[in-house]
Chains A and B, each alone.
Chain A
Amino acid sequence: AQSVAQPEDQVNVAEGNPLTVKCTYSVSGNPYLFWYVQYPNRGLQFLLKYITGDNLVKGSYGFEAEFNKSQTSFHLKKPSALVSDSALYFCAVRAYNNNDMRFGAGTRLTVKP
């Protein structure tokens, strides 16, 4: 069965600095990988996905993610963080042959002015 690990519960960065939120995955076969963001008292919003092709995927709000097959990682990145990026971020994985999506425990990102 597929699974996701987000090794950091909390990430703190200063506004304007680059940010990285880490995710590693385990799945049989080719993975389908997703990042979601959750703002307070809201549901999850889809940010970006990796299906196949280019290892660098661009998504909403200036976020991007880098797929690394050898390290089974899919880290979320942004070149310059904004205070408004402060939220809870979830990584998710799905195997190619089913609809069962597995979510990580989430990483809380705090961007300080």
Chain B
Amino acid sequence: DVKVTQSSRYLVKRTGEKVFLECVQDMDHENMFWYRQDPGLGLRLIYFSYDVKMKEKGDIPEGYSVSREKKERFSLILESASTNQTSMYLCASSWARGPNQPQHFGDGTRLSIL
């Protein structure tokens, strides 16, 4: 089975802090994604990456950056955390072999910014 591991299940940070969310997958997937999930809004794509050192902006990249130094690891960075970034963050990965591949998700990080 595909395993996507997010380093923290729950995280509490303060406004203005730099926050790192880590994600590791064990299936050698080329594609990795970061979403945030908010009630009534579903999943919104923040950033994604199709290869090492490669990144693309999603729908809501403002206030975030990402890093992909190794194929299995995709990090989301909140440069200066704000209260409106309190949310559930989900990491996902998939094969690059075409659009019929499902994404596999981690269990999420529930982030609270105080």
Select one of A9, A42, A49, A90 contacting B43, CB under 8 A.
Answer: A90
B35 contact set on A, CB distance < 8 A = 103
Q: Is the CB of B102 within 8 A of A99?
A: no
Contacts known (A90-B43, A103-B42); A44 close to B99, Cβ less than 8 A:
no
Given known A-B contacts A43-B90, A90-B42, A100-B45, A95 and B105 have beta carbons under 8 A apart: no
Known: A41-B107, A46-B104. A105 touches B99 (CB 8 A): no
A45 at the interface (CB under 8 A from B): yes
Instruction: Verify B100–A32 contact, CB threshold 8 A.
Output: yes
- Select B99's contact among A41, A90, A99, A104, beta carbons within 8 Å: A99
Which B82-106 residues have C-beta < 8 A from chain A? 90, 92, 94, 96, 99-100, 102-106
Q: A90-B43, A106-B42 given as contacts; is B103 within 8 A of A101 (CB)?
A: yes
| Distance in angstroms between the alpha carbons of A6 and B9 in the assembled complex | 28
Q: Which residue of A lies closest to B4 (CB)?
A: A43
Q: Are B99 and A96 interface neighbours, CB within 8 A?
A: yes
